[in-house]
Amino acid sequence: MPQLLTLTRAARLVGVTRGSLQKKIKQGELATFEGMIALTELLRAYPEATLRLTDNSMLERVQEFKDNALTKVVSDRVVLPDAQTLATRVTKLSQELAKAKTRLDKYTSLVDRLKDKLSELEQTGDTDQPSAFSGLNAWLSQALQEQPHATDLPERFLVKDSLLRIMAAQIKILPSGHEFLLEGTDTILEAALRAGLAINYGCSNGNCGLCKARIVSGEIKHIGHHDYVLSAAEKAQGYELLCANTAVTDLVIEALEAGGAQDIPVQHIETRVKKTERLSDDVMLVHLQTPRTKRLRFLAGQYVSLEVSDGLAANHSIASCPCDDRNLQFHIRKHPENRFSNYVFTELKGADTVSVDGPKGEFVLQEDSPRSIIFVACDTGFSPIKSLVEHAMALDMAESMHLYWIAYGEGGHYLHNLCRSWTDALDNFEYTSLDATANERAASGPGHEESVHQDHLIEGLLARVTDDYPDLSERDVYLAGPTSIANTAEFFFLNRGLPQTQLFIEHTH
């Protein structure tokens, strides 16, 4: 019986993302058995993994992004399970080991008996057959003497897999089949959100009961206090609160997940300004924090209404990842004639109260799409695109992603280094910055007497996308920017053969 691994564990074992594995499976370079991967097959497909048996650098870099997206200091996060959980996992592995050893002893004894039987037949059997028995016996003796080599790779990967099983529990959600790992002392809800899953929940705090789910198999442990009381019938059926429990062993749970924006309720939350920070001369980062007991549940790409003072409100896309529902970030552009923008740039300060209403909008990832993704951000349209990119990274969902960011002049690509670091960290991510000012200058050079119309300017920049990807039929395009640019871009892509159903547009607020 070959050693079979889930996709999540196989990816962790050879230090690649699930997306890389899925790509190999799709291209027929990696065989699966009922959704599982044999260890020997995995090592055949990733021979380079044998050279970096202890190297998970790519996964670690992705994890670092997730931690940064969570606005936590990485070292603050406890990645070791508690002693009791560790002891339980070690005990379970020891039990598996004991069973395997019992089976091994049984087979060893059978082989010894077979060997004796062959010797016996060699000496006393049919006179025509002794040489055959003798040959078989000699072969068996030799085969038994061949010791597995000390550097036997499958064996070393099995050791690594055992260690990873001790460090992290794997959780599978029914009926979706989504899988994620729970590390350290995270609650099941925290681990699911960190993995980018839109699991059902409300307060994150044990009060509302919205995160209750049925534990189908595995062992959990209560951590923290909760006020919500499950009924006797719910308890009898195995329901538990995901925000109040962690996983001791691997789990299978039955839980509700949002199927789309329509499943996320509109919420009203009084938040505090944690900080404001200039990302460039004309773009302000506004970082809001919700109360611990009332967090914003949303999908990446959605927007909310922000009310900064009495009656002064505006819609803005959330720039941060839903995996951190307490810390909400926004990129606000300076518009001197706009009262909201003026207020943010001149009056808003730390600890001020900002009312948040939402989420709204349907500019969200199509998680079931098998296609690669092109993101096109225009100016502060980068804000919802950033949230989508971080979410896609957490979900590990796309074979490849390419971000094009169109902006004007110096400071236009106000998070240029962040985009470049995504490229450095992920082998399936590319980033192209497009400077609309430079293009305008080029277009207005010799032979152009007059300034070129903005539509032509944007089309000229978007041609970079179709130069890179002449065939758009296998791509999903997510585009966010001011209405005038978004309309031009929509016309451009549809005219070049992108199916309407594969184009997702957000007119930024």
Q: Which residue type sits at 53?
A: L
Which is closer to ligand FES, CB of 180 or CB of 504? 180
Indicate whether 209 belongs to the interface with ligand FES (CB under 6 A): yes
Q: Which two structure tokens, joined as six digits, stand for 219?
A: 């062992």
Should residue 338 be labelled a site residue for ligand FES when binding is judged by CB under 6 A?
Answer: no
CB atoms under 10 Å from CB of 241, counted, come to: 25
Point out which residues pair with 180 in neighbouring strands.
171
Q: Measured on CA atoms in the order 162, 163, 164, 168, is the torsion positive or negative?
A: positive
CB of 200 to ligand FES, least distance (A): 8
243 sits near ligand FES (criterion: CB under 6 A):
yes
Position 469 contacts ligand FES (CB under 6 A): no
Which of 19, 22, 21, 26 is closest to 62 using CA atoms? 19
Candidates 209-217, 247-255, 329-337, 377-385; binding stretch for ligand FES (CB under 6 A): 209-217
By CB under 6 A, residue 361 contacts ligand FES: no
Q: Which range in 159-167, 200-208, 348-356, 477-485 contacts ligand FES by CB under 6 A?
A: 200-208
d(CA 399, CA 370) in angstroms, rounded, equals: 8
Classify residue 48 as exposed, middle or buried by CB count within 10 Å of its CB (0-12, 13-18, 19+). exposed
Give min distance, CB of 189 to ligand FES, in A: 6
Residue 207 interacts with ligand FES (CB under 6 A): yes or no: yes
SS3 call for 405: strand
**CA quadruple 326, 258, 317, 380: dihedral positive or negative?**
positive
Q: Does the footprint of ligand FES cover residue 204 (CB under 6 A)?
A: yes
Instruction: Name the DSSP letter for residue 453.
Output: P
Stretch that binds ligand FES, among 162-170, 195-203, 216-224, 437-445 (CB under 6 A): 195-203
Q: Among residues 11 and 241, whose Cβ is nearest to ligand FES? A: 241
In whole angstroms, the minimum distance from the beta carbon of 223 to ligand FES comes to 12
Report how far residue 174's alpha carbon sits from residue 469's, in angstroms, rounded to the nearest whole number. 37
* Separation CA 157–CA 373 (nearest Å): 33
Q: Which of 62, 173, 208, 332 binds ligand FES (CB under 6 A)?
A: 208
- Per CB under 6 A, 258 contacts ligand FES: no
173 binds ligand FES (CB under 6 A): no
CA distances from 130 to 79, 118, 125, 365 (A): 63, 9, 7, 71
Any idea what the Cα angle at residue 264 is, between residues 260 and 269, rounded to 5°? Answer: 150
Q: What is the DSSP letter of 273?
A: E
Q: How far is the CB of 162 from ligand FES (least distance, A)?
A: 32
User: Is residue 210 near ligand FES by the rule CB under 6 A?
Assistant: yes
- State the Cα angle at 296 between 291 and 298, rounded to 5°: 165
DSSP 3-state assignment of 406? strand
Site size for ligand FES, by CB under 6 A?
Answer: 14
User: Are 114 and 141 a contacting pair, CB within 8 Å?
Assistant: no
Helices within 316-432 (DSSP H only): 339-346, 382-395, 416-425
One symbol per residue from 275 to 314: x for binding ligand FES (CB under 6 A), - otherwise; what is it?
A: ----------------------------------------
Instruction: Please identify, using beta-carbon distances, which residue of 325 and 506 lies nearer to ligand FES.
Output: 325
Q: Pick one of 201, 375, 404, 414: the residue that binds ligand FES (CB under 6 A).
A: 201
Q: Find the part of the chain contacting ligand FES (CB under 6 A) among 196-204, 469-477, 478-486, 491-499.
A: 196-204
Closest CA to 435 of 396, 406, 455: 406
- The 220-239 site mask, x for binding ligand FES (CB under 6 A), equals --------x-----------
Q: Is 211 in the site for ligand FES (CB under 6 A)?
A: yes
Q: Binding to ligand FES by residue 203, rule CB under 6 A?
A: yes
For binding to ligand FES (CB under 6 A), which residues are involved?
201-211, 228, 241, 243
